[in-house]
Structure 1
Amino acid sequence: MEFANKEYLFLLLLIIPYIVWYVMFRKKSEPTIQMADTYAFRFTGRSWKVILMPVQLFLRILAFTMLVVVLARPQTHDSMQNENIEGIDIMLAMDVSTSMLAEDLRDDARDITNRMEAAKAVAAEFIAGRPNDNIGLTIFAGEAFTQCPMTIDHASLLSLLHNVRTDIAARGLIEDGTAIGMGLANAVSRLKDSKAKSRVVILLTDGSNNRGDLSPMTSAEIAQSLGVRVYTIGVGTNGTARYPLSVGGGVQYIQVPVEIDTKTLTDIANTTNGKFYRARNAEELREIYHEIDKLEKSKIEVQRYSRRYEDYQKYGLIALGALLLEILLRITIFRRIP
């Protein structure tokens, strides 16, 4: 247990002068009766009330002590410890362009309506299956940014992944397009200071690079120089895909061509000693992540934190109980009549 306001504990030193005052001076202030002879009381024993009289002192000291503890704000340990665990550092780079709204990866059994929902669902399963890994998330369309830096707090990561909207580019929250080079570069930048032996980027897209200041191969060469292995996944069926088009406040479905730059994705994977995968449906995408899940593991050092909780309630109740009991005893059993 720790105290947020430790300085209040010095108030406990006041107990010492109070005990000295009680023993040395209190009895002198109590009413007395002068008697000519006390011989008749020579062999009279002390009553149980007299014997238990110090209980009042104990209860007062207990109440005061508990009040001081409450003022010092006792808290549970905010522990932090370094642990060596088996794992790798992984960045997920996910395409969120409007083309990810195509519904060729639909899976009604799992409530998956489009490519984006399929990618999020499978990524969530992948994250949940690797509790010891540092995992982060980069999203990209015409530009790229880090949705979540690498962390072992997978609950927060999954929450941020869930909050990635399928229409983020369509609503203008991010520039539309497919900046594969920028998305890869952003993910790699999060891994450059990693000390793990195995560092991986899983890049998922459904198109070809048409935006950004960095070409995909330039980013791949940067990844290769840093020892980052890149697994690329091209999602989308062959030929054409069903795509929802907003028309006059409603939705009209059209067929759009599926144009995945498999050559560039393959070259990225080969340059970084990774592998290119092709997912034509939700089940294939799930199998791809299962295969990537079999990656080698290496020891990494992580810091684990535990939350801090206020723990004053029980001490406050003890103080209140001791105070009320002392008052009750003083006005009943130990009541004095001057």
Structure 2
Amino acid sequence: MIYEWFKNITFAWPENFILLGFIPFLTFWYLRRHARSQAAMTVSTTRFLNVRSARNRMVHWPFILRMLAVACIIVALARPQHRNDYEKTEGEGIDIMLCMDVSGSMGDPDIPPSRIEAAKAVAEEFVTNRPVDRIGLVIFSGESFTKCPITPDHNTLITQIRSLELRDGGYLAQGTLIGEGLATAVDRISSSPSKSRVIILLTDGKEDAPDTRLIDPLTALEIAKAKQVKVYTIGMGLGASSAEDIGGGPRASDDFLDEGLLQKIATETGGRFFRARDKDGLSTIYALIDKLEKSKVEIIRYKKIEDKFHLLILGALAFLLLEMVLRTTILKKFP
């Protein structure tokens, strides 16, 4: 606790610390004067003089207390201050819905440690870097599910991102329903009063629909266009691509992705389609989206400074008072 207190202490006039250099000179002068003031006489032995009393042990205490008082005064003259800095972020943000594929193939380790773990880490960083935006999370595999409604509470959202598992821990059906994932994300964000609404859809597969599918990807695209929601699409995994291909990993077959669909969704809603072949590439993509979708952010910084020299002055007075008490009691000299 003491360390934390001193860590925030600064000095307004640190040049006054040079006065501490007088203390060694005063100490030298005192010791020299004390040695000269000792009486001298010739004796055959000094054994009887080697008696150490409490008074003898405390003979230098008044000088030590006075030097401590001087040191306190000098440090007080440097004007110690306790400083608290904090900031408040205000602004006009945009609404963003993360729409993430959590199908079984997202466990593939071609992007270490796995596609889903890399996606989670980069999504968390993206959320942290957008302090004034409202952001939510929809996940999908063979079903879609709103993991976190759109919210300004980023701590809650980050907790939900960190808890993501393949197929949400097995609760979602197998498959890859891009259309239903997109439709759910559009539904959750379309009621927002924000002027700018964005979906970032990330997947590593093609539409793999069971017979129970309700909304196909093209229908979901038309809904997004009707609601004027911009969609950025990201195809994740190794493979060659004609899209904005970002990442340095080896290229393999792209049969697992429907690039045409992802390109169409992005282009027709005013967004862009990206390919991510490694975690660094995925981070770069999110950084590009971060630049493209600007929020009006105002950071108000507050600085509170409190002078803390009062305790040092009280300490100096206490040392001087103690010196006076010693000189008039235990160390009192009689003529």
TM norm structure 2? 0.55
Change (3 A) 1:161 1:296: closer
Change (3 A) 1:164 1:270: same
Contact conserved, 1:221 with 1:271, CA < 8 A, in 2?
no
Deviations 1:220-258 (CA, angstroms, capped at 9, x unpaired): 11111111000000000018xxxxxxxxxxxxxxx9985
Contact conserved, 2:239 with 2:253, CA < 8 A, in 1?
no
Contact conserved, 1:232 with 1:269, CA < 8 A, in 2?
yes
Runs (4+) of structure 1 exceeding 4 A deviation are: 255-258
Partner of residue 222, structure 1 = 223
Deviations 1:187-221 (CA, angstroms, capped at 9, x unpaired): 00011111111100000000011123211111111
State the alpha-carbon separation in 2 of the partners of residues 84 and 101 from structure 1.
38
Partner of residue 101, structure 2 = 95
- Out of 267, 277, 288, which is 2:285 matched to? 288
Shift of 1:295: 2.6
Contact conserved, 1:140 with 1:178, CA < 8 A, in 2?
yes
Query: Which consecutive residues of structure 2, in runs of 5 or more, have no partner in the other structure?
Result: 1-88, 241-251, 298-335
Contact conserved, 1:86 with 1:297, CA < 8 A, in 2?
no
Alignment of 1:252-263 (within 5 A): 259-263=256-260
Is 2:202 the partner of 1:204? yes
Alignment of 1:66-215 (within 5 A): 85-106=91-112, 113-165=113-165, 167-168=166-167, 172-211=170-209, 212-215=213-216
Shift of 1:277: 0.3
Partner of residue 48, structure 1 = none
Change (3 A) 1:234 1:257: closer
SS of the equivalent of 2:195 reads: coil
Partner of residue 333, structure 2 = none
Contact conserved, 1:196 with 1:298, CA < 8 A, in 2?
no
Q: How many residues align?
A: 195
* Seq. identity, %: 50
Partner of residue 20, structure 1 = none
Deviations 1:273-313 (CA, angstroms, capped at 9, x unpaired): 1100000111111100000001344569xxxxxxxxxxxxx
- The one-letter code matched in structure 1 to 2:200 is I
SS of the equivalent of 2:232 reads: strand
SS of the equivalent of 1:293 reads: helix
Query: Which consecutive residues of structure 1, in runs of 5 or more, have no partner in the other structure?
Result: 1-82, 107-112, 240-254, 301-338
Contact conserved, 1:93 with 1:183, CA < 8 A, in 2?
yes
Shift of 1:84: 7.0
- The one-letter code matched in structure 1 to 2:191 is D
Is 2:292 the partner of 1:278? no
Alignment of 1:28-39 (within 5 A): none
Contact conserved, 1:90 with 1:200, CA < 8 A, in 2?
yes
RMSD over equivalenced CA pairs, Å: 2.1
Contact conserved, 2:132 with 2:295, CA < 8 A, in 1?
no
Partner of residue 234, structure 1 = 235
- The one-letter code matched in structure 2 to 1:259 is F
Deviations 1:103-135 (CA, angstroms, capped at 9, x unpaired): 1111xxxxxx10000100000000000010000
State the alpha-carbon separation in 1 of the partners of residues 167 and 177 from structure 2.
15
Change (3 A) 1:256 1:97: farther
- The one-letter code matched in structure 1 to 2:225 is Q
